[in-house]
Chains A and B, each alone.
Chain A
Amino acid sequence: MELPTKIEPETTDLPTTLQWRLERKSHGRLDCVDARGQRHADVDVLRAFPISAPNDAVALIAADGSELVWIETLTVIDPAVRAMLEAELASREFLPVIRSIESVSDGEPTEWHVITDRGATRFKVAHADDILCQSDSGAFITDTFGVRYRIPNAMDLDPDSRRRFEKSL
């Protein structure tokens, strides 16, 4: 097994030459050429802490699930690569932003009917633990299928939505 190439923020501030390369292929696929020049087709880009630290700790995963590259923090890598990674994450990451909450049922699981920036949808939340409030009054809600929804700032919701949201906590 190859060791993942590590980019240590302490050693290099902005690495000019990377030990690995990314190439965009057709249909939005990404290929990664690793430090040994080996090519991995169709790699996945994953955030390791999607909720608690979305901008740190990004991993490139080969199609067979093994880890190719570990990026401690996105801020230290080459801006071009970083843009590519972020575009990829944006296209894969489905994190609808809740604009308003139409209804939340009582009991468990709670049933939510919301309007997001991606359109209207309904989902179920198994437990109040699946609603994670951030210190900046934002929140992440994870539904029973593992889809996450974001409320950037509960204070920005309209009063009805906010009341429903607070009721659900």
Chain B
Amino acid sequence: MPLGRLGLETGEVVLAACRFDLDASLNFTDGWIVLTDRRLLADLPASADGEEHSTAETLRAWPLDALTQLDVRLRTGVGRIELSQDHRVIARWLFTPARAKAIHSLEDVFDQRLHGQSTIALGTPGNSTHNDSPKKPVEQNNPTPIVSAKSSDDDEPSFSKDSSEASWRALGRLVTFARPHAAVAVLGGVLSLAGTAAALVPPYLTMPLVDQVLIPRQAGQPVPFERVWWYLAGLGIAALAAWLLSWAQSWTLAWVGERVAADLRVRTYSHMQSLSLDFFSGKRTGDLMSRVGSDTDRINTFLSVHLIEFSSNVMLVLLTAGVLTAISPTLAIVTLAPFPLVVWLVYAVRERLRRGFARSSVAWADMTSALADTIPGIRVVKAFAQESREIDRFRATNDRVLEANDRVNVVWAFFGPLVSLFSEVGLLVVWAAGAWLVFSGSVTVGALTAFLAYISRFYGRVESMIRMVPATQRAAASAQRIFEILDCTPTVAEVPHPLNPGRVKGRIEIAGVHFRYGPREILHGIDLTVEPGEMIGLVGTSGSGKTTLANLVCRFYDPSSGSISVDGIDLKQLSIPEYRRNLGCVLQEPFLFFGTVAENIAYGRPDASRAQIVSAARAAGAHEFILALPAAYDSRVGERGGSLSGGERQRLSIARALLVDPAILVLDEATSSVDAETEAIIQSAIDRLVAGRTTIAIAHRLSTLRRADRLVVLDAGRIIEIGTHDELLAANGAYARLYNAQTKAAEQAAAGA
């Protein structure tokens, strides 16, 4: 936003800025709302009274002291900002969810200003309403107002310009992956040049053979036959050399291609591992799998097969053109005349093919997704007897693959023979022009023979070059899909020089934490300090944000505003893997990997000894059931632990968390699927293990939390009660209601039994 438009006073500092994008009648518009340390400035909003303001250019300003509330609400598709003075709404703006993030942060800053905090919100360390938030607050005596309007744009989608250009860039970027193998690639190039040159020799030798041996001989001149031998030997050697060279060249370049593809797979996979959870929640497994698997494979085929062919073809075409010109410029011009037409055709069809292949890649990924979706869910499919529907669904995705491929084939099938036609016509033209030139005496029969030999090779190569077009486009589409992953940056990123916390004590401070998934705010300002070694029980209705809060403590996500620090250091300053070494998590959905029981328990500490594994299993109450398994600790648990019961899976994941000897233990419904007796066993084990560890335990079954030092009751993203079990019962609030309901239910169950 142009600074001049704001008309800031001397020393006035801009704290936050955002844009709204709808007017009162829900038409797209564009206007600014700017919060300074003194005023709220904004383009005239959609009128609060229903009357329309026609000029969007006028700016209004409200001094902050007069304002009482800025209320942002986003429940339906349209968001609403209401500004009130003395509990009367005086202005109203509307926006789409695309703007929500910047608007919410302006709201946060506004609230902080209003609630008497003298520090400027954006400047205080740890409070990052925006990671790349603009303005460091300047000293108040700074005469120039500071404006940075960038803040409001960071949630707007960025749009790239040209997709076909992008696909070429993607192919170009593949070259960077070939760099480590540059020497071999260059060798391959040299070999292919030599091989091409060797392939050009035979036709050249036929020229003197015809002109100086065969035709003179036919004309009755005495030509010794041994000269024929010489030429034949030359032809033979050239052919042999061309074969050897092209063999060596194929092999070297395939070697490079294979390695580039392998590097690409590993790079893609390791980059994916570095991405944050929100990347994965928006993607389908099958799609990612097909990107790492089949897209890299296509690139490999392209690099190791087609690129070689392509480069040697280009060289051959160029060299042939050179040789032809040297023999007879006139004939060369006639021969090469249709070539530009072919180039144009390639150009015309290229984009179409690339799009077709991109679609086919997407269709393929959809098909993989259908598999990746239903095979793990096979129990649900069978339980609801939906096998035939899933087959139909799969068939539908498969049909889409078929259809996408058919479309490409239509283009290709038409285009391929067209090129053959060109080469036939080219041959005809050369015969005609050659005959005419021989008649006029400017070209010998031998030269014409050589020309014909060259030209059939020439068009043969052009044809196969064109056959390369789809392969190139297929690879370009695949490369683009891979770089889409490689270009994602983790949203939970490490600072450039992260601190290594070592072993933490476990004091967790959560200060003013807000959290949003997209535009939806889940946590509205959480303040909580957990002392080292304290056990906190987190309770509250389903969906109140307990897991979300635990996720923030694990730093799976970063808070939208506010801060979480451990031992006084903001989590964002810490090295993520080093910090997580201090964490033991039992997630609400226990996930086991394909492997043995022992491997799963030792997942967080692969070097653990057998004795350690067993004692962790004992502590988690898992030892006995493990011994009852066919191969005890060496039994395979199946994919995702499919061969175990829900409670068994939970106990294994508790053991896994305990084995890392964490300073901070997060238990999200860790014992929800075990019976009361087993729970008591685990509970006593946890009681022992909790000692000395900061623990955040989430549970619906309140009896699980009897040992907690403090209970924190969450409701709709806010903390409504904190205290010990007895205190909260005495307070007779939300916790007491929950507790009484549970005990009553338990009593009823007992009475019924």
Contact = CB atoms under 8 A, between A and B. Distances in A.
Interface of A: 26-28, 44, 46, 61, 64-65, 91-96, 105-108, 111, 113, 116, 118-124, 126-128, 143-148, 167
A143 B157 CA distance: 11
B282 A27 contact: no
A95 B28 contact: no
A95 to B, nearest CB: 7
B493 interface: no
A105 B100 CA distance: 25
B6 interface: no
Contacts of A123: 98, 157
B159 to A, nearest CB: 5
A121 B97 CA distance: 14
Chain B interface secondary structure, helix, strand, loop or mixed? mixed
13 contacts: A93-B76, A96-B28, A108-B481, A118-B22, A119-B29, A122-B159, A124-B157, A126-B282, A127-B284, A144-B157, A145-B100, A147-B96, A167-B359
A94 B22 contact: yes
Contacts of B524: none
A124 to B, nearest CB: 5
Given A94-B78, A145-B98, A167-B359, 5 more contacts: A26-B89, A27-B48, A106-B167, A118-B26, A128-B362
B97 A145 contact: yes
Contact of B82 (A27, A106, A124): A27
B77 A146 contact: yes
B564 to A, nearest CB: 26
Contact of B77 (A27, A95, A122, A144): A95
Contacts, number: 90
Interface in B87-124: 89, 92, 96-98, 100
A27 B92 contact: yes
A135 to B, nearest CB: 16
Q: Which 3 A-B pairs have the closest CB atoms?
A: A119-B28, A145-B97, A94-B77
Contacts of A105: 159-160, 163
Nearest to A116: B28
A35 to B, nearest CB: 23
B159 A111 contact: yes
B28 A120 contact: yes
A93 B160 contact: no
Contacts of A92: 76-78
Contact of A108 (B76, B167, B362): B362
Given A122-B157, A144-B157, A147-B97, A94 B358 contact: no
B77 A148 contact: yes
Contacts of A106: 163, 167, 354-355, 358, 477, 480
Contact of B75 (A44, A119, A167): A44
Contacts of A146: 77, 97, 518-519
B366 interface: yes
A46 B518 contact: no
Q: Which of A27, A144, A147, A148 is the most central at the interface, judged by chain B CB atoms within 10 Å of its CB?
A: A27
A31 to B, nearest CB: 15
A163 to B, nearest CB: 11
Contacts of A95: 77
A108 B484 contact: yes
A62 to B, nearest CB: 11
A93 B96 CA distance: 11
